[in-house]
């Protein structure tokens, strides 16, 4: 049988939706085949097993999640201020376009972290190796601040991503409608960088 790239992609997209909805443990290959509109034998021909398909989907999902920041964090031509502005903007916009992605990844981290770590090829401790990490440490030392660069990175990620993950909760407790929430996220593209730069005394 000749492998069809469009069929492979259709299976991967279906798998993403099912894994996002059910998680790895509760997902059956039969569920993915049904979602993709193909028979089980065809799915097995392309991907052999649920584990193999999961590894591929997770790899692509994590690459998608970190793609927005990788170039920014290692760009030696930009200032730390520019990196913060660009990083927050790309994180918020990237996650807004695929709001299931962080939930999908974080739910798997909670359910079976070792399963995820064994299959995903992101170097342990990669953040500490970035040029941005070096710039942050230099600024912390210069201003004699009493926190580490890791605290700063966690703030950057959580302040950018949490409102997207917590959208239903935020809408409920604040009585925001869809337009108000969209405006709220747009405002955070400007506000979050200001708060982060304030932490480092860059403003």
pLDDT digits (tens, 9 = 90+) for 48-83: 888 889 878 877 877 777 777 888 999 999 999 999
Residues 6-34 have pLDDT tens digits of: 899 999 999 988 987 787 888 999 999 99
DSSP 126: G
DSSP 1: -
Q: What pLDDT score does 51 carry?
A: 87
Q: What pLDDT score does 181 carry?
A: 96
Locate 12 and state its tokens. Answer: 């991967």
Q: CATH top-level class for 1-48?
A: mainly alpha
Averaged pLDDT, 74-101: 89
Averaged pLDDT, 1-6: 68
Residues of the chain with pLDDT > 70, as a percent, come to 96
Q: What pLDDT score does 102 carry?
A: 74
Kindly report the length of the chain: 203
Q: What pLDDT score does 89 carry?
A: 94
Q: What pLDDT score does 99 carry?
A: 63
Q: What pLDDT score does 128 carry?
A: 94
DSSP 129: G
Q: What is the pTM of this model?
A: 0.75
In the predicted structure, residue 162 carries a pLDDT above the cut 60: yes
Q: What average pLDDT does the chain have?
A: 89
* Contacts for 124-132: CB closer than 8 Å, 24+ residues apart: 127/73, 127/153, 130/73, 130/74, 131/73, 131/74, 131/75, 131/76, 132/72, 132/73, 132/74, 132/80, 132/83, 132/87
Q: Closest Cα partner for 37 from 57, 17, 54? A: 17
CATH for 58-199 (1.10.540, 1.10.357, 1.10.510, 3.40.710): 1.10.357
In the predicted structure, residue 97 carries a pLDDT above the cut 90: no
Averaged pLDDT, 27-44: 94
**Domain segments of the chain as ranges:** 1-48, 58-199
Rounded to an integer, what distance in angstroms lies between the CA atom of residue 157 and that of residue 60? 19
Rounded to an integer, what distance in angstroms lies between the CA atom of residue 80 and that of residue 12? 37
- Confidence band (pLDDT; 50, 70, 90) for 114? confident
């Amino acid at each position: 049988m000749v492998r069809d790239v469009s069929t492979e992609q259709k299976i991967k997209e279906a798998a993403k939706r099912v894994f996002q909805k059910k998680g790895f443990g509760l997902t059956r290959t039969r569920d993915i085949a049904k979602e993709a509109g193909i028979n089980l034998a065809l799915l097995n021909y392309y991907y052999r097993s649920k584990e193999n398909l999961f590894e591929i989907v997770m790899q692509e999902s994590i690459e998608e999640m970190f793609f927005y920041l990788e170039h920014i964090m290692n760009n030696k031509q930009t200032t730390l201020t520019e990196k913060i502005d660009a990083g927050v903007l790309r994180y918020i916009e990237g996650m807004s376009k695929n709001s299931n992605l962080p939930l999908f990844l974080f739910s798997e981290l909670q359910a079976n972290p070792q399963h995820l770590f064994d299959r995903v090829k992101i170097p342990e401790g990669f953040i500490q190796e970035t040029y941005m990490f070096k710039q942050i440490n230099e600024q912390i030392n210069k201003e004699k601040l009493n926190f580490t660069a890791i605290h700063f990175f966690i703030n950057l990620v959580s302040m950018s991503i949490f409102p997207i993950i917590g959208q239903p909760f935020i809408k409920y407790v604040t009585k925001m409608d869809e337009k108000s929430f969209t405006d709220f996220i747009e405002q955070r593209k400007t506000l979050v960088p200001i708060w982060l730069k304030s932490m480092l005394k860059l403003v």
